[in-house]
Homo-oligomer: A and B are copies of this chain.
Amino acid sequence: MIRIGIYGYGNLGRGVEYAVSQNPDMELVGVFTRRDPASVHANAPVYRAEDVLSYTDKIDVMILCGGSATDLPVQTPQLAQHFNVVDSFDTHANIPTHFENVDTAAHAGGHVGIISVGWDPGLFSLSRLYAGAVLPEGKDYTFWGKGVSQGHSDAIRRIRGVLDARQYTVPVPAALEAVRSGEMPSLTTREKHTRECFVVAEDGADLARIEKEIVEMPNYFADYDTTVHFISAEELKGKHSGLPHGGTVIRTGTAGDGSRHTIEYSLSLQSNPAFTSSVLCAYARAAYRLQKEGAKGCKTVFDVPPAYLSSEDSASLRKHLL
């Protein structure tokens, strides 16, 4: 059995708890939280985050479930000295720095750390890598959605007069179609995605001002065609409380004989954190096996042989899946 610890117990941590229960070769040893353990209800013992180093010989892989903004840049290197770790660090621009920090720590402790695991970065990155390697002359496209962007929802919530909000990123069907046709179009940000916002405003708030602040918000909305719907708190809760997401990675390219090819990888996810958690668990298995074999240091999904993710052995994989 691979003994798993969860460090941080929000949506993602709960997802990992569920995901561990689906993997017969894993058991959940405990959940580590910065909150008062007595206030956290989990289907495993709950421990104080600050006591984590007492569990180094009881946990094979620690799955870090904090956020990429402030938690993981600190926690993953710290814990990689003492545990095999897996995280879902997703601030693309900071991946090289995070990799170096985790690599140094994991080497020092003789552990394996796998970072940036999930679907993007993660499975989408793999799709881009495989497609680019087999079609060196071609062009990549990534479309996200339809799905909830938590960062954009948060940005709307910070506007004065907004009580709650939910933002959907929606790929433009005509853009998807143009890409699939193999025409290799050049697409602007605006041509690829639209943004749809469901907003609960305070009674008497200036709706026109709120809408204007949303659609003109730089970086988040100004470069997109954005639609704003004001709805009641009840409707938001009833119709928009899930966290669905997904998307599509497409590469179209030309082989040496001029023939054209399209490679497409799509995800349709009812729950973004539940799916990300499932990916984290598969890579926890890989971290465990890699370290057993003597590997150390930081890895990404690019470095992990696919067979290490599966609970089946190699002979069985060749027989049933190849």
- Name A residues whose Cβ lies closer than 8 Å to a Cβ of B: 14-15, 17-23, 92, 95-96, 99, 116, 121, 123, 125-130, 132-137, 180, 255-257, 259-271, 274-275, 277-279, 281-282, 285, 300-307, 309-311, 314-315, 317-319, 321-322
Asked whether B322 lies within 8 Å of A314 as measured between CB atoms, the reply is: no
Report the copy number of this chain in the oligomer.
2
Find chain B residues with CB under 8 A from A125 CB.
321-322
Minimum CB–CB distance from A110 to chain B (whole Å) comes to 20
Known contacts A129-B321, A274-B256: A265-B262 contact under CB 8 Å: no
Asked whether B300 lies within 8 Å of A271 as measured between CB atoms, the reply is: no
Knowing that A263-B266, A304-B306 touch, tell me 11 more A-B residue pairs with CB under 8 angstroms: A21-B256, A95-B322, A126-B306, A129-B307, A255-B275, A256-B274, A259-B275, A261-B271, A263-B267, A265-B265, A300-B322
Asked whether B22 lies within 8 Å of A137 as measured between CB atoms, the reply is: yes
Find chain B residues with CB under 8 A from A270 CB.
259-261
Q: Which of A14, A257, A266, A301 is packed against the most chain B CB atoms within 10 Å?
A: A257
Distance in angstroms between the alpha carbons of A129 and B305 in the assembled complex: 11
Asked whether A302 lies within 8 Å of B322 as measured between CB atoms, the reply is: yes
Distance in angstroms between the alpha carbons of A255 and B302 in the assembled complex: 24
Can you list 11 residue pairs at the A/B interface with Cβ under 8 Å? A15-B255, A15-B257, A22-B256, A116-B322, A123-B263, A134-B275, A134-B281, A262-B269, A264-B265, A302-B305, A302-B314
Known contacts A274-B255, A278-B255: A133-B310 contact under CB 8 Å: yes
With both beta carbons as reference points, the residue of chain B lying nearest to A116 in the complex is identified as B322
Distance in angstroms between the alpha carbons of A303 and B308 in the assembled complex: 8
Minimum CB–CB distance from A260 to chain B (whole Å) comes to 5
Find chain B residues with CB under 8 A from A317 CB.
129, 302
